[in-house]
Amino acid sequence: MSRKVTLLRLRERMLQQRDALWKKLCSEGEWTDPEAAHGDLGDAATLDNEQEMLSQLAALESRELNRLDRAIAAISEGRYGICEYCQQKIPLTRLRALPNVTSCIQCQRMHELEGPADRAQANWESAWEHQAREQDQELTARDISMDDSR
């Protein structure tokens, strides 16, 4: 099968994925109204947790939708399947496995070893540590001064 035919099939597959993802995102937009929730604090916490998870899932799906849109546009512009780093053709086997990939395996490996160019990207461990430092910590008896002269 020629590269052109394979790319056209991948385009159709990506269009179907995009449509399915778009419908899913639209249906997930109908989240539960927190004001409509009744129950105790535990119910409210559970609802809050569920909504946070839905929000994160929607953000992930939105990024995937954006990647699919960029890949579909690249096909229309004739630049799909070309590595963004070395400008060589990305093997069809890689494109079939990961249709919205933008780099060949060698460049992807090199990029991962070097790390992201923008170090401000997701470093969740340090973000979590920063948040923990910023939050109010529990007071102990040693933290409370018994001297009222201040």
* pLDDT over 80 (residue 128): no
CATH of domain 3-120: 1.20.120.910
For residues 104 and 84, the answer to whether their CB atoms sit within 8 Å is no
Residue 126, helix vs strand vs coil: helix
The CA-to-CA distance between both ends of the chain, in Å, stands at 83
* pLDDT over 90 (residue 93): yes
Task: For 13-39, write each residue's pLDDT tens digit.
Answer: 999 999 998 888 787 655 555 555 566
* pLDDT over 60 (residue 120): no
What are the residue boundaries of the structural domains of the chain, listed by start?
3-120
For residues 68 and 18, the answer to whether their CB atoms sit within 8 Å is yes
What Cα–Cα distance (Å) separates residue 33 from each residue in 38, 47, 95, 101, 103? 11, 9, 41, 37, 42
Among all chains, which residue has been given the structure tokens 């995937």?
64
The confidence score (pLDDT) of residue 106 equals 95
Q: Which helix (H) or strand (E) holds 15?
A: helix 3-28
* pLDDT over 70 (residue 75): yes
